Amino acid sequence: MDSELFEKGLETRKQVLGAKYVDENLAGSDAFMMTFQRAVTELAWGYAWSRPGLDRKTRSILTLGILAGLGRFQELGIYTNAAVASGVTIDEITEALVQITVYCGTPAGHQAFLAAHEALRFTED
């Protein structure tokens, strides 16, 4: 794991998702799954998330909408906390979820609200 893109991606990934979460993902990956970990770290985090065209807050909000639209609600919960860490407010997450509900449909919106609520219940205390 010595490529520049991987190292850049690993740094960004840890900043957005949290070092503990990323380290646990990597530690739990055998050689087979490290192929995936390397690809996602290089492409998503080293390339896409590290580009200068959008700030992390905007990328976080977009990611919430994409994950909801794809029905990836477990990931949406993870990225809800990442959005907060990237500077997205609870009110902005709420508004993004309303938009998601309208454009992705009420079942997807409901599941998105549930996933975000579960993730946020620990940050609101």
Task: Give yes or no: residues 14 and 34 share one domain.
Answer: yes
Is pLDDT at 37 greater than 60 in this prediction?
Answer: yes
**What is the number of structural domains in the chain?**
2
pTM attached to this predicted model: 0.88
Is pLDDT at 122 greater than 90 in this prediction?
Answer: no
What range defines the domain where residue 44 resides? 4-48
Which CB contacts under 8 angstroms, 24+ apart, belong to 30-36? Answer: 34/1
Task: Give yes or no: residues 109 and 60 share one domain.
Answer: yes
Task: Give yes or no: residues 44 and 73 share one domain.
Answer: no
Assign 77 a pLDDT band (cuts: 50, 70, 90): very high
| CA separation for the pair 60, 83 (Å, rounded) | 5
For the stretch 52-74, pLDDT in tens is 999 999 999 999 999 999 999 99
Task: Give yes or no: residues 19 and 62 share one domain.
Answer: no
pLDDT at 121: 87
User: Would you state the structure tokens that stand for residue 117, as one six-digit string?
Assistant: 């609520």
Q: Which residue has the tokens 């490290």?
A: 34
Query: How many residues are there in the chain?
Result: 125
Q: Judge whether 125 lies within some domain.
A: no
Task: Give yes or no: residues 42 and 60 share one domain.
Answer: no
